Amino acid sequence: MAAHAHAEHHEHHGPPAPHYSSRVPPGVLGMFLFIGTEIMLFGSFFTAYFFVRVVNGTPWPTPPFHLPVFVAFVNTCILVTSSFTMHWALQSIKRGNVWGLRAGLLLTFLMGLTFLVTQGREYSRVGFAPKDGGFATIFYCLTGLHGAHVFVGLSILLFMTIRAFRGHFSAEHHHGVEIGGIYWHFVDVMWIVVYLTVYIL
């Protein structure tokens, strides 16, 4: 027993193994805290929306402007579908299906890109600018803030897709996809909230 402990002591090099007090792995905890700050950021924009629309009583949308509800609905369907392909990608690699991962990530990236391009096109056709009153400002702030998050998500997806095609992920090692997937689902949930408040209610 003593000889075994002595041998183990001699085999160990470098600093001692870290002690984690949290039940959540550090990488996931980091993403969790990051998303917590993001929720607070979106919360400040939704507070501004509440004041403009409810407290000030600004008509929504302010005449003569109209919101492109149908285009936004199609865009919502695209983004929601991209979360399903993201989930499929991760489930594939968990089963060791590398091509399923690659196809899922590529589809997710393309759908996210379609969402962003459609939103940019919508901005150019919507007929009002951020300077056209409280309604227009809040519309651009909320949808623009979300668009920025989609851009960040696309950047993460691009790296994940490149790594997937280089064979960096396997059934045992796919933590990078897991973290990116959590972020992508968060972006999707935030869009559903933005879509409901800005376009539907």
Closer residue to other proteins in complex, CB, 35/98: 35
| Residues 16-55, mask of contacts with other proteins (x by CB under 8 A) | -----x--x---x--xx--x--------------------
Distance CA 1, CA 7 (A): 10
For residue 59, the number of C-alpha atoms closer than 13 Å in the C-beta half-sphere is: 7
Residue 163 in the binding site for other proteins (CB under 8 A): no
Alpha helices in 127-169 (DSSP H): 133-165
Give the separation between CA 53 and CA 12, rounded to whole angstroms: 63
Which residues have C-beta within 8 Å of that of residue 182, sequence separation ≥ 6? 28, 31, 35
Contact with other proteins (CB under 8 A) among 87, 140, 147, 168: 87
Select 154 or 177, whichever has its Cβ closest to other proteins.
Answer: 177
The encoded tokens of residue 23 equal 């039940």
Structure letter (DSSP) for residue 18: P
Q: Please give the size of the binding site for other proteins, defined by CB under 8 A.
A: 25
Residues within the interface to other proteins (CB under 8 A)? 21, 24, 28, 31-32, 35, 80, 83, 86-87, 90, 177-178, 181-182, 185-186, 188-189, 192-193, 195-196, 200-201
